[in-house]
Amino acid sequence: NKNDEGASRGVRNVAIRLDEGAVGGGVHTLDAVLRRAPGHSLYDFGQVVPFLPPASATPGAAPTGHSTSYVSPPVRQDYETPMKPVGMLLKFVLHSSWGDPYYMGLDRLEVVGADGAPIPLRRDQVAAAPHSLRSLGLDDTRVPENLAEPVKLPPKPTKTTAALAAARAASDTAALAAGSWLTPLTVSLAMDEESEHGQYGATGRAAHPMAHAYDVPPSGENELYILFDQPTAISTVRLWNYSKTPERGVREVSVWFDELLIHRTGLSMAASHDGEHQTARPDTTTPHADGFGGCQSLVFTNDPAIVRQEKALVAYCGADEQDVLCIDERQVSVRSKWMNQLPDPSSHGVWDSQRSQFNANRPTTGAVRPRG
């Protein structure tokens, strides 16, 4: 784990020999695969190697005898994804928020195995860099480990009024927010260079002396990690964008599996319970999400049953009419809906052009403290 290049020198396959009496008597050799190190020490990348009997099935394991020939995409997405990729480190690179220049987060995340069932995750299998608001010294429970725990929501009533529906939406949003994850946007740490606190420089993010203090990864962008103990095949990833303050939701994300890019797409802004913000697609439900809608699915399978279940939850940029802004002689002749959207704070030059505003003190956020 010396660096990213040095991580390629790590051990991949190992045979662990257990002496007699260790596993059901006799001598047993366990063939294990060790996960590649990340090339930095911003999170605990230790791995648990379970001593399972050889016949035990691994959750989400890839089916044997699967074809490696080209398969036409079963559903239109922003990226042509591989079918049931297998790996041990699932990494999400979060490129930008929906306009908030300081914070970004998710309400929930769910990884579905090749068999169509959600893969249970332990809290120590989820990590992030920067970790959370605790990187800024705030006492806040919105940590990435929360994403490993399923949110239990009450069943949706068969009959309801508009008032009851609004109350349920508010209750669901509060439940998701309590188990959500919020972290400082890495570009906002760069913005603090000129502030009175002088926290983090705008250039050389990863090389800056304060980079380690803020858990900024070498990419200079926010990263979220899911660590599997064994090679695992996935068919779907479900993401719930941050809904307490929708502008703090993730806008664009890249998905890497064992350092190979498998998806890049945009996420819709979450709908707040007061109806102020709406997603670009209708709110739908999914059976494996406790009956709660509003998630977005990234599909990595051609299984007909899974595709039918997830198709309505896939956001495809080509489904919307192209939005064009026309300017003639410095005058706007054809308006664009994006003129009224907040600028992407991660775009080059955006914070430079608004230096006086961004260099103000970082705004506070409602810290959720553990109950004593």
Based on the structure, what is the number of domains in the chain? 1
* Residue type at position 114: A
pLDDT tens for the 372 residues of the chain, in order: 888 888 888 999 998 887 655 554 555 777 889 999 998 888 888 898 877 655 444 555 555 445 556 667 778 888 889 999 999 999 999 999 988 888 999 999 999 999 999 999 999 999 999 999 888 888 888 999 999 887 555 555 555 566 665 555 555 555 555 679 999 988 877 654 444 433 433 333 333 333 445 678 888 899 999 999 999 999 999 999 998 889 899 999 999 999 999 999 999 888 765 544 444 333 333 333 334 467 899 999 999 999 988 988 898 887 777 778 888 988 888 887 777 766 666 666 665 566 566 655 567 776 555 544
Residue 206 lies in a domain: no
Residue 71 lies in a domain: no
Contacts 24+ apart (CB under 8 A), 117-125: 117/59, 117/60, 117/288, 118/150, 118/288, 119/59, 119/60, 119/228, 119/232, 119/234, 120/59, 121/147, 121/148, 121/226, 122/148, 123/148, 123/149, 124/44, 124/227, 125/226, 125/227, 125/228, 125/229
Residue 292 lies in a domain: yes
Global pTM value: 0.78
Residue 352 lies in a domain: no
Residue 337 lies in a domain: no
Residue 144 lies in a domain: yes
The pLDDT score that the predictor gives to residue 366 is 67
Residue 251 lies in a domain: yes
Q: What is the Cα gyration radius of the chain? A: 22
Residue 279 lies in a domain: no
CA contacts within 13 A on the Cβ side of 208: 22
Tell me if 116 sits within 8 A of 303, measured CB to CB.
yes
Return the structure tokens found at 342. 């907040």
Distance between CA atoms of residues 314 and 321, nearest Å: 17
Distance between CA atoms of residues 94 and 73, nearest Å: 24
CA contacts within 13 A on the Cβ side of 218: 8
What is the span of the domain harbouring residue 94? Answer: 76-151+166-193+212-273+288-319
